[in-house]
A and B are shown apart, each in its own frame.
Chain A
Amino acid sequence: MRIPILKLYNCLLVSIQWELDDQTALQFQEDLLQKIHETSVSGVVIDLTSIDFIDSFIAKVLGDVIDMSNLMGAKVVITGIQPAVAITLIELGIGLNNVLTAIDLEKGLEKLQQELGE
């Protein structure tokens, strides 16, 4: 299954709605970069509200896709990280430092617009 990526004005909007397996995660990485390239957007919001756990592999794929997007010139904001996800990530030793985050999708879009200076 592929994760849908929606375009909204100058942003891409992604809501991850189900547990990610390795293939889906890697496919998403490629799909997102391709979509950034096609649409020339300057920002991306990835919403994780429905995700109830993130292991080191998914964290690595997410961290990488954020760095890759930055390389291409698009800023990424992660939103909706659940308490259980925040706790397990930190206990695992994964801080996802230097990643822009916001409490929910609405705040994420606001943060992105601020970052983009629009």
Chain B
Amino acid sequence: MSIQSCVTIINEWDIVAARQLGRNVAKELGFGTVDQARITTAISELARNIYLYAGKGQICIDKLFDGGKPGVKISAIDSGPGISDIRQVMEDGYSTSGGLGAGLPGVKRLMDQFEIESIPGDGTKIKATKWLR
């Protein structure tokens, strides 16, 4: 079972809207303040990547219920330039924007599950999930 809500990312304000949505969902599902901060931060980083590198995209937040265990899934989808070397962007300290926007390895550490799919010229799809402990 999954309930989804989405925010279209075009400008900086949409980043704020996306992380507020995520925080509200996390709070609603009973996540503590530390996990709320992790989820909010992860959304902020992913939304900023869309804003910086793709120009436009979507952040969707799913409430998951896996055998009664709640979770939050963040999907970041864009049809931007894509990433040609995923291994490189998953290395700590790699940046093409001088430290703005995030560290995908950071997002991976904040969340429990992390998947990335990208086709150069076609776009990027990232899914990151956090389960309630």
Contact = CB atoms under 8 A, between A and B. Distances in A.
Contacts, number: 78
Nearest to A19: B16
Task: Give chain A's interface secondary structure class.
Answer: helix
Q: Determine the interface band of chain B, counting residues with CB < 8 A from chain A.
A: 20 to 34
**Listed residue (A55, A82, A84, A94) with the most chain B CB atoms within 10 angstroms of its CB:** A55
Contact of B101 (A21, A57, A83, A91): A57
Task: Give chain B's interface secondary structure class.
Answer: helix
Nearest to A56: B102
A92 interface: yes
A92 B41 CA distance: 9
**Listed residue (B37, B40, B101, B103) with the most chain A CB atoms within 10 angstroms of its CB:** B37
Contact of A53 (B40, B93, B101): B40
Q: Determine the interface band of chain A, counting residues with CB < 8 A from chain B.
A: 20 to 34
B8 to A, nearest CB: 17
Interface in A4-39: 19, 21-23
Contacts of B107: 92
A60 B44 contact: no
Contacts of A53: 19, 23, 36-37, 40-41, 44
